[in-house]
Amino acid sequence: MRLSRLDRFHRLLAEAPAARELIGRYVAGETLDELVGVLADLRRKGLSAGVDHLLADAADEATAAANERSYLDCLDALAGAGLAAGADLDVAPSALGAPGGDEGLLRARLARICTAAERAGADVTLRMDAGREGREDVVEETLALAGRLREDFPRTGVTLLAGLRRTESDCRALAVDGVRLRLCKGDRGEGRDAFTSRHAVDLSYVRCLTVLMASDAYPMVATHDPRLVEIALDLARRNHRGPGDHEFQMLHGVRPWEQRRLADIGRTMRTGIPFGPDGYARFLRRVADHPSDGALYARSLLGRR
């Protein structure tokens, strides 16, 4: 994973047959046909799908426009296969707007994607690209983008990171009127607003989850931690939440039996599916850049719950 940060190694790692077989447990593949096949299998198992299109950050407007087309092509493929309804497309604002670029163009691209998703019966959730430093300006910009999109597309979701100190107050401010809020742990960061210990992040997650479950929002509980899953189930019961007003989210290939269990007891269980051209290499790079993800996949490989 560390080697994958180096350009001269990451493609070699991603293209090695053994590495591709290993990564294939977690990535749907590199083509839309492969993605459709994985989503169809999930549907047969009673699981909902979240699509994480692995795209490069937009270094220029040409890349941003190409990435927009990729998101739209993905929605078209899902709609054509009858798999778009109920799916959730994970959209990274950083893939649609170059640093210092025209914010109006970024909003227009997001609006076109949301329009296409709405037409297909799918949802859109914005990723939080705050990174390990927990950059406050990125958090503010992403929350502002989501707020503006919800004016025309009320089902637009946004990701909140329990690893940031501000997130509990963000939950209180945003948890209204069915707003779709995905709660993730996020990596422990080094910025002034980031918690630096795993225990502090866990406690923050529980506080944020308590706020969301008692609110009028639609909580998306994105965690593989068995303790937090049980806490979420308990909070849902205490707040009289039915299966249709909250959901659980886990990554493809991680704790698959637990995902089936949650679906079998009537909970909405959404499996996040990474895919995309050059997807194996991009997946390796993402895991290398996010230590918590690296630990999660390592535990999954060892068969630990």
* pTM of the shown model: 0.87
Is 1 inside a domain boundary? no
In this structure, what DSSP letter does residue 122 have? -
Give one DSSP letter per residue of 89-114, joined into a string. EEE-GGGTS-TT--HHHHHHHHHHHH
Q: Letter for the amino acid at 255?
A: R
Is 34 inside a domain boundary? no
- Please give the Cα distance from 131 to 188 (Å, whole number): 10
Is 22 inside a domain boundary? no
Domain ranges, residue 185: 56-273+287-301
Tell me the per-residue pLDDT of 67-79, one tens digit each, with 9 for 90 and over: 999 999 999 999 9
The CATH number covering residue 244 comes to 3.20.20.220
Handedness of CA 85, 148, 275, 198 (dihedral sign): negative
Q: Is residue 29 within 8 Å of 38, Cβ to Cβ?
A: yes
The confidence score (pLDDT) of residue 137 equals 83
Residue 271 bridge partners (DSSP): 49, 250
Is 251 inside a domain boundary? yes
Pick from 112, 141, 115: nearest CA to 128: 141
Tell me the per-residue pLDDT of 81-132, one tens digit each, with 9 for 90 and over: 999 999 999 999 999 997 677 889 999 999 999 999 999 999 999 999 755 3
The confidence score (pLDDT) of residue 180 equals 98
Is 170 inside a domain boundary? yes
Q: Token pair of 176, please?
A: 């209204």
The confidence score (pLDDT) of residue 257 equals 92
Tell me the per-residue pLDDT of 13-51, one tens digit each, with 9 for 90 and over: 556 655 555 666 788 888 999 999 999 999 999 999 999
Question: What is the tally of structural domains in the chain?
Answer: 1
Is 47 inside a domain boundary? no
